[in-house]
Chain A
Amino acid sequence: MSSLKYIFITILACLLSGVASASPVIKAKLDSATVVMGSITTLHLTVEQDPGVKGHFPLFKIAYEKGYAGLCGDSVELRAPMKIDTIKNNNSLTIKYDVPVQSFDSGFYKLPELEFVAGVDTFRSNNVVLKVLPVANVTAETPIADYANVADPENPSIFDSLPDWLINYWWIFVIVIGIVIASIWLWKRYRDTGRILPKKPEPTPYEVAIAGLRGLKEKKLWENGMEKEYFTELTDILRIYLYRRFGINAMEMTSRQILAALSSNKETKDKKPMIRQILDMADFVKFAKVRPLPADNIKSLENAMTFVEQTNPLPPEEKTGEDDAKNGNGASDKDAEAIQSAVKGNKAEKGGEK
């Protein structure tokens, strides 16, 4: 008895609640159930509800925020904006949503029920099915409605055959090629000359020594009572000359060692007495507080000059010229004359100094 009472009360409560407010009804329908991949069809959603009910589709909020809302694992997209139309009836309200639907993946999709939230209640639409055809079915020959086929250019240019990246960034390629060419050129120059910048010709040992001796003479050191400085500088000039000209480490050698080294060199063997006079005198002056006579000072400088002059090798070009002259080459005769005049000039200069 009591159970029958419960069933009756429940049925009555349900009937009473249905009278109080009707639930929203949502219907979904596609414009076209078959579309080509990438093309758009429209999903028509109709919501019938009481005028006082306030509801919305949460999915549409996402579509408005992102531009689209993905369905079926993002294979089908509901795109914004969508068209909304509201029609008022006697006791109800009909809201129509036209939602663009697009898909870029071919296949057969069953779109899920779309949720409509009204207060604390959620209502769902019916399912719809969409078939997306692949683009491969569309060939280049397939005419596109309202569009003409792409025509070949009338006067083709060479640039038409070049790729776009080359035309857009040609200047980068020009710079890179320029750097490569410059690098190769510099590398070849370094390989040939051992340096990149052009080498300044170094003065020869002869030039350095002669300039030093002339400078020493002009300083007039011994004339001003500075014999020690005079002989120190004179021996330094000679020792540097011996090192650069004959490879004798004279700067680190004593007088006796220098003379021994000169004795073992064919070119300097017979000129040793001149150097001996200078070194002996220099040792006296530098280490024994000896004040030499002016004649000793002059003789030492003259001996140094003579030694440097006599051991000055002729430049290789001039030697070649002499060889050519010996061979009877007319052009080389002129070169030989030039060498002789240069040598005479040097001797005359030396005589003038004396």
Chain B
Amino acid sequence: MEETLNIRELNDLIASKAGFLSLIRSGMDRRIVGQKHLVDSLLIALLCNGHVLLEGVPGLAKTLAIKTLANLVSAKYSRVQFTPDLLPADVIGTLIYSVKKETFEVKKGPIFANFVLADEINRAPAKVQSALLEAMQERQVTIGDETFSLPEPFLVMATQNPIEQEGTYPLPEAQVDRFLLKVVIGYPTKEEEKIIIRQNIKGELDPVKPMIDPREILEVQKIVEKIYIDEKIENYIVDIVFATRQPAKFGLTDLQSIISFGASPRASISLAKAARAYAFLQGRGYVIPEDVRSVCHDVLRHRIGLTYEAEANNISTDEVITDILDKVVVP
């Protein structure tokens, strides 16, 4: 088989970074039982320079996962517990008057970290959410007259609790769209839960030693950007996204009354980026339709609006995405 040089080189390059992936995975496995999908989603977001919105009931190791990842990468980690009385300055920082120096000094907020856990993001009012999401998008923060770049790599993992909706401020569609992935975490299996008990009752957990330099992540991000996406895959992505906007054109007339608004062009971009990162996780230098399908639910879940009719019939966006994937022709 003759292969064009760049793909072969890329495959070799990816293979050389397999150690990086196995280090992260084994480190995560030591602390987190199960939740493979959560770990993979965090890695995809990290490789794509994106952010993750996590939805799951409390106690599913959401905080532990991002904390472990931060420890493994020897990166700065911070956690912000979102509450109704939180102010934007509590997240991004503010100017504080120094009596000694007789001037205003910048006090940077917890957002100045490589890995930020925005816990229960929907508990804070819109202006705080907006400040965080703007920083996520721009990757810089302006305090007073001075603009500060956020450290790299920069990953925000925001969590939402799906069962407590009272006293919350649901994220607007325009802001939720800025998360690369929305991951829904489920309960562990019986076997996994038994291991969790054993790990936690024996005392202190094994400490996680930093094994990866943040600069290495930036290198890998550059490799991921080089992963080849064929025009056929681009067409496939566009077809999927267009099927969320005009389902009838793809033979999905039933979905016409269920979808109130389809995915945005940002969804197409995110789908391509996430598929590329997934291909990297599989050790491939090119994207295949399997990669697109694998990340499709997480990428599109929070980008499709459903009508009241759909809600009345208990139809979820996941079901809609599955229907679309089953109808769009794979290249």
Residues of A within 8 A of B331 (CB): 232, 286-287
**A296 contacts B286, CB within 8 Å?**
no
B3 within 8 A of A: yes
Q: How far is the CA of A289 from the CA of B4 in the complex (A)?
A: 7
Q: Is the CB of B293 within 8 A of A254?
A: yes
Which residues does chain B contribute within 8 Å of A292, judged by CB atoms? 1-2
A286 to B232, CA, bound (A): 8
Neighbouring B residues of A287 by C-beta, 8 Å = 228, 230, 232-233, 286-289, 331
Q: Bound complex: CA of A284 vs CA of B326, how far in Å?
A: 23
What are 23 A-to-B residue pairs whose CB atoms are below 8 Å?
A: A232-B232, A251-B329, A252-B328, A252-B330, A253-B330, A254-B289, A255-B289, A256-B290, A283-B288, A286-B230, A286-B331, A287-B232, A287-B233, A287-B286, A287-B289, A287-B331, A288-B285, A289-B4, A289-B228, A290-B2, A290-B4, A290-B7, A296-B1
Instruction: Compute how far the CA of A288 lies from the CA of B4 in the bound complex, rounded to whole angstroms.
Output: 9
- Give the chain A neighbours of B2 by CB distance below 8 A: 290-293
Report Cα–Cα, A25/B90, bound state, in Å: 134
9 smallest CB-CB distances across A and B, nearest first, come from A288-B286, A254-B290, A254-B289, A287-B230, A291-B2, A289-B4, A290-B3, A287-B288, A288-B7
Q: Tell me if B327 counts as interface (CB < 8 A to partner A).
A: yes
Task: Decide yes or no whether A268 CB sits under 8 A from chain B.
Answer: no
CB contacts under 8 Å to A, within B1-51, are: 1-4, 7
Tell me whether A332 is interfacial, beta carbon within 8 Å: no
A249 CB-CB contact with B under 8 Å: yes
Q: CB of B131 within 8 A of chain A?
A: no
Chain B residues within an 8 Å CB radius of A289: 3-4, 7, 228, 230, 286
Whether B325 sits at the interface, judged by CB under 8 Å, is: yes
Q: Which residues on the A side are within 8 Å of B290 (C-beta)?
A: 254-256
Contact with A along B279-307 (1 / 0, CB 8 A): 00000111111100100000000000000
B148 → chain A, closest Cβ, in Å?
A: 41
- Which residues of B have CB within 8 Å of A253? 330
**A-chain residues with CB within 8 Å of residue B3 when the two chains form the complex:** 284, 288-291
Cα-based distance from A283 to B232 in the complex (angstroms): 11
Residue interface bits B49-71, CB-to-A below 8 A is 1, else 0: 00000000000000000000000
Q: Which of B1, B2, B287, B326 has the most CB of A within 10 A?
A: B1
Cα distance, A271 to B1, chains bound together (Å)? 23
Interface 0/1 of B236-261, CB less than 8 Å to A: 00000000000000000000000000
Residue numbers in B under 8 Å from A291 (CB-CB) = 1-4
Contacts of B328 in A (CB 8 A): 252
User: Which residues on B are within 8 Å of A, measured CB to CB?
Assistant: 1-4, 7, 228, 230, 232-233, 284-290, 293, 325-331
Whether A252 lies near B7 (C-beta < 8 A) is no
> A255: which B residues are within 8 A, CB to CB?
288-290
Q: Which of A114-138 contact B (CB under 8 A)?
A: none
Q: Which residues of A contact B293 (CB under 8 A)?
A: 254
In Å, the complex CA distance between A249 and B331 comes to 13
Q: How far is A337 from B217 in the complex, measured between Cα atoms in Å?
A: 70
User: In the complex, what residue of chain A is closest to B2 when comparing beta carbons?
Assistant: A291
A283 to B233, CA, bound (A): 11
Contact A252 B4 (CB under 8 A): no
Is there an interface contact between A293 and B288, defined as CB atoms closer than 8 Å?
A: no
Give the shortest distance, in Å, between B289 (CB) and chain A (any CB). 5
- Contact between A288 and B325, CB atoms less than 8 A apart: no
B177 to chain A, nearest CB (A): 27
Contacts of A284 in B (CB 8 A): 1, 3
Determine whether the beta carbon of B288 is less than 8 Å from that of A252. no
* B137 CB to nearest chain A CB (Å): 31
Within 8 A of B (CB), among A252-295: 252-256, 283-284, 286-293
Q: Which residues of A contact B228 (CB under 8 A)?
A: 287-289
Bound complex: CA A283 to CA B2 (Å): 14
CB distance from A41 to the nearest CB of B (A): 87
Distance A288 CA – B3 CA, assembled complex (angstroms)? 8
- Kindly name the residue among A286, A288, A290 whose own CB sees the greatest number of chain B CB atoms within 10 A: A288
A252 vs B290: C-alpha distance in the bound complex, in angstroms? Answer: 11
Q: Shortest beta-carbon distance, B291 to chain A, in Å?
A: 9
Closest to B10 in A: A288
Q: From the candidates B232, B286, B326, name the one contacting A252 in the complex (CB within 8 A).
A: B326
Whole-angstrom distance from the CB of A230 to the nearest CB of chain B? Answer: 14
Closest to B285 in A: A288
Known: A252-B328, A288-B286. A293 touches B230 (CB 8 A): no
Determine the distance from Cα of A284 to Cα of B284 in the docked complex, in whole angstroms: 11
Closest to B11 in A: A288
Interface residues of A in 215-263 (CB under 8 A from B): 232, 249, 251-256
- A252 lies within 8 A of B329 (CB): yes
CB-based contact B233/A252 at 8 Å: no
When chains A and B are docked, how far (Å) is the Cα of A217 from the Cα of B286? 28
Mark each residue of chain A from 23 to 40: 1 if its CB lies under 8 Å from any CB of chain B, else 0: 000000000000000000
> What's the least CB distance linking A291 to chain B, in Å?
5
Rounded to whole Å, the gap between the CB of B220 and the closest CB of chain A is 20
Apart from A249-B326, A255-B290, A287-B233, 4 more pairs, CB < 8 Å: A232-B331, A252-B326, A287-B331, A291-B2
